[in-house]
Amino acid sequence: MAPVGSRPKAGARRAATSRATLPVVLGGFLALPMSMSGASVAIPRVAADLGTGGAAAQWVVTAYFLTAAALMLIAGSLADAVGRRRVYRAGAVAYATGSLAAALAPGIGVLLAARVLTGAGAAGVMAAGGALVATTFSGPARTRAFAAVGTTAGLGLALGPPVSGWLVDAVGWRLGFGVFALAGLGLLAGTWALPDSRASTRPRIDWTGAALIASGLAGTMLAVSQWPGRTWTDPLVLGAAAVGVVGIGLAVAVERRAPQPVLDLRLLRHRRFMGWLLAAGTMALGFGGVLSFLPSYLQSPAGHSATAVGAVMLLPTLPMVSLPPLAARAVNRGLSPRALVTGALLLLAAGNAWLTILAPDVGVVALAGPLLAVGAGVGLASGTIDAQAMDQIDENHVGMAAGMLNTVRAAANAFVLALFGAALVGLLSARLGSPELAGRVVTGNLPVTGTDTLADHLTDVWHLTLWAATGVCVAGAVAAGVLLRDGSRRRAR
């Protein structure tokens, strides 16, 4: 029996670590998206300083993104097995080490290897961080906590480009990476204040399944991300697609027979959990294309300055940051999460449809409404999705669930970047008869002659693509609503 007086002290320690969980996790969800979205700003300087081509330098972003996306699920399952705090701590170490190595890299090869390590660290921090929030909080507090996570992640994505741009201009791209090494060390220090948790029975780690899942996801997303610029007949695209198909196929076969799988396929048969996964993917699909490709259109042919475009693209950030806490409050006061998220996805669809006002002479004021609607759809859905998805899963599998949510978002982002860009280029190529010219026009490089005609063609193609995105969001909202309809609330086991 414990000595008298020991329980209050232990209880106080647990309370203190619980209070520390959210600030430490939020630090990760701020820094990591910033380093992902902001790295693209440094690419021109990296290419110039290291004497490499733009295509190779672009892998500074791609290597981080693909590694993080491919390892999210594995990091989450590993957190369930060996401890969520331990995986978060290991992720912080890898993230800090990779960022420091990137800052000191003598050449592009070392820099890319450093970004792979940074991405692996990001997977650990984000998957374990989501699991720590899920196990630390419950009920209305969990809803509020995940709303804060959604707000912080949105803020990090928005702040990444301007903050990284300022760092690159002020201190150079090397110190721009070095700053994130300091952020990683801060996250590492915070882990000593975190509570630890793991599955009630420690499972054996399924390393075969982990390797197959990682290779399958990495190959699939690499093929999708490289397809628009290389076509499906390119050896890299074909090879990556083959690795993806074989890896995923073998992973399913292995995980079906594994006594303690990295991916418990029973989760994929849990209707309500799949509904929240579908909502997460639809949200990413409805926003990613606009965020990535609209700035080029607004600069050419619309003719706005880079500064003005930067200000315009901050508009969707405002509701993305402000609405998650309000959505959490509404759910805690009795609003149906299913109704809220379905409405949010329909609002995202309406924003894409409203953006068909795009024209070469479109003004900034006219864009405010549709961009705010798009941001509002994301802001209302983001935190709610995570909190409600975690409510469907028992505590032994919350790491796996957090990894699945982040993997779905990453995969959806990869698909939308590839498909949105490919749709613009493909539709424009059909009109112009030149894929090369279409690619230049989509990225804002209109030739001096024939600008008006090309601008009209590009605008028509944008309208078609936005209507397609609208249809995807409506279909996703309806399908998610069906999956989330009232029924058994039994958690997945």
pTM: 0.78
Q: Is residue 25 part of a domain?
A: yes
Q: Are residues 182 and 54 in the same domain?
A: yes
Whether residues 157 and 241 share a domain: the answer is no
- Asked whether 152 and 41 are in contact (CB, 8 A), the reply is no
Q: Which long-range contacts (CB under 8 A, 24 or more apart) does 181-184 make?
A: 181/96, 181/97, 181/99, 181/100, 181/103, 182/96, 183/27, 183/31, 183/35, 183/95, 183/96, 183/99, 184/31, 184/92, 184/93, 184/95, 184/96, 184/97, 184/99, 184/121
Per DSSP (E only), the strands in 362-409 are: none
Alpha-carbon distance of 165 to 352, in angstroms, equals: 28
Sequence-ordered strand ranges (E) for 214-373: none
| 314 and 458 inside one domain | yes
The set of residues, in sequence order, having a beta carbon less than 8 Å from that of 389 and lying 6+ positions away, is 273, 276, 277, 280, 401, 405
**Which residues on neighbouring strands pair with residue 492, listed in sequence order?**
393
Domain shared by 248 and 310, yes or no: no
Does residue 38 share a domain with residue 144? yes
Does 270 lie in the same domain as 257? Answer: no
3 state SS of 492 = strand
Q: What angle do CA 119, 123, 128 make, to 5 degrees?
A: 155
Q: Looking at the domain assignment, is residue 4 inside a domain?
A: no
Among the candidates 192, 214, 248, a domain finishes at 192
Is there a single domain that holds both residue 281 and residue 148?
A: no
Contact assessment for residue 458 and residue 445, using Cβ atoms and an 8 Å cutoff: no
The C-alpha atoms of residue 328 and residue 143 are separated, in whole angstroms, by 6
Listed range (84-88, 94-98, 298-302) with the worst mean pLDDT: 298-302
Predicted confidence (pLDDT) per residue in 323-377, tens digit: 999 999 999 999 999 999 999 999 999 999 999 999 888 888 899 999 999 999 9
- 212 and 298 assigned to the same domain: no
Token couple for 296: 């080029």
pLDDT (tens digit, 9 = 90+) per residue, 412-448? 877 777 777 777 777 777 877 777 777 777 666 666 5
Please report the pLDDT score of residue 449 as a whole number.
54
Q: Which domain holds residue 289?
A: 266-493
Burial of 363 (C-beta count, 10 Å sphere; 0-12/13-18/19+): exposed
Cis ω before 301 (30° cut-off from 0): yes
Query: So what's the pLDDT on residue 11?
Result: 42
Domain boundary residue among 149, 168, 192? 192
Contacts of 272 (CB under 8 A, 6+ apart): 392, 483, 484, 487, 489
Rounded Cα distance between 2 and 353, Å, is: 64
Return the pLDDT at 56: 66
As to burial, measured by CB atoms within 10 angstroms (0-12 exposed, 13-18 middle, 19+ buried), residue 222 is buried
The answer as to whether 7 is a domain residue is: no
Q: Cα-flanking dihedrals φ and ψ of residue 402, to 5°? A: -65, -40
- Smallest CA-to-CA distance from 99 within 50, 29, 39 is with 39
Q: How many domains is the chain partitioned into structurally?
A: 3
Give the confidence band of 490 by pLDDT, cuts at 50, 70, 90: very low
Residues 337, 484 within the same domain: yes
Please give the structure tokens belonging to residue 375.
């941001």
Boundary-marking domain end, from 261, 289, 304: 261
Residues 254 and 299 in one domain: no
Residue 146 lies in a domain: yes
Quote the pLDDT of residue 337.
93
Domain membership of residue 451 (yes or no) is yes
Domain at 138, CATH number: 1.20.1250.20
Measured in degrees and rounded to the nearest 5, phi and psi for residue 492 equal -70, 140
8 inside domain: no
Instruction: State pLDDT tens for residues 283-328.
Output: 988 888 787 778 778 877 777 776 677 778 788 888 988 899 999 9
**Are the CB atoms for 80 and 396 separated by under 8 Å?**
yes
Tokens of 159: 């702040």
Mark whether 334 and 425 lie in a shared domain. yes
Looking at residue 10, its pLDDT comes to 39
Asked if residue 142 belongs to a domain, the reply is yes
Write out the two tokens for 179: 């700053």
Identify the bridge partners of residue 393 per DSSP, sorted by sequence position.
492
Q: Is residue 199, in this structure, part of any structural domain at all? A: no
Judge whether residue 121 has pLDDT over 90: yes
- Same domain for 270 and 248? no
